[in-house]
């Protein structure tokens, strides 16, 4: 149910994103999803890859500040209100969502990554509500 996400802290200046992506590309890393949130001085680049540990090592060796976190990968049905229902189930269970973003993975429904204040409890709630999830092993087979 959990997948590994690499978070990279980069300066908010021209060419820095390209530098990170080139380093990963040169290292043979295929990115499945990317999300970038910025402030005036820095950005947090969140990456999903089939080889998160290798991507992490490549980035650390290149001098970037990075870490690996676990997020929950959920497949939201392609129906009106489906995302709201999934998020309401979590809210009703006392879960706060830290961030959420879409994943670039083919298949039925809309895959998303969710980070919460209590990943284990969120996972139990999603399972109890029969929400389809994606595992790291499934990502590696894509």
Task: Please provide residue 126's backbone torsions phi and psi, each rounded to the nearest 5 degrees.
Answer: -60, -45
Percent of the chain predicted with pLDDT > 70: 100
pLDDT band of residue 118 (cuts 50, 70, 90) is: very high
82 vs 105, higher pLDDT: 82
> Measured at the alpha carbon of residue 47, what is the angle toward residues 7 and 73, in degrees to the nearest 5?
105
Model's pTM, two decimal places?
0.89
Q: Is the pLDDT of residue 1 over 80?
A: no
Q: How far apart are CA 77 and CA 127, in angstroms?
A: 15
Domain annotation for the chain: domains and CATH numbers: 2-67 (3.30.2130.10), 71-141 (3.30.2130.10)
Q: Is the pLDDT of residue 4 over 80?
A: yes
For residue range 15-63, list pLDDT tens digits in order.
999 999 999 999 999 999 999 998 788 899 999 999 999 999 999 999 9
| pLDDT at 13 (0 to 100) | 87
Q: How far apart are CA 61 and CA 63, in angstroms?
A: 5
User: What's the average model confidence in pLDDT over 112-131?
Assistant: 97
Residue with tokens 């680049």: 45
């Amino acid at each position: 149910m959990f997948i590994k996400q690499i978070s990279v802290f980069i300066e908010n200046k021209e060419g820095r994103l390209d530098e990170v992506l080139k380093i990963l590309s040169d290292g043979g890393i295929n990115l499945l999803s990317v999300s970038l949130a910025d402030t005036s001085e820095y950005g947090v680049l969140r990456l999903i890859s089939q080889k998160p540990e290798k991507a992490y090592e490549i980035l650390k060796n290149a001098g970037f500040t990075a870490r690996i976190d676990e997020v929950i990968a959920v497949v939201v049905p392609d129906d009106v209100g489906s995302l709201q229902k999934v998020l309401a189930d979590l809210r009703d269970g006392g879960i706060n969502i830290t961030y959420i973003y879409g994943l670039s993975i083919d298949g039925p429904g809309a895959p998303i990554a969710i980070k919460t204040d209590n990943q284990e409890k969120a996972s139990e709630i999603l399972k109890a509500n029969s929400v389809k999830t994606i595992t790291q092993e499934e990502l590696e087979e894509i």
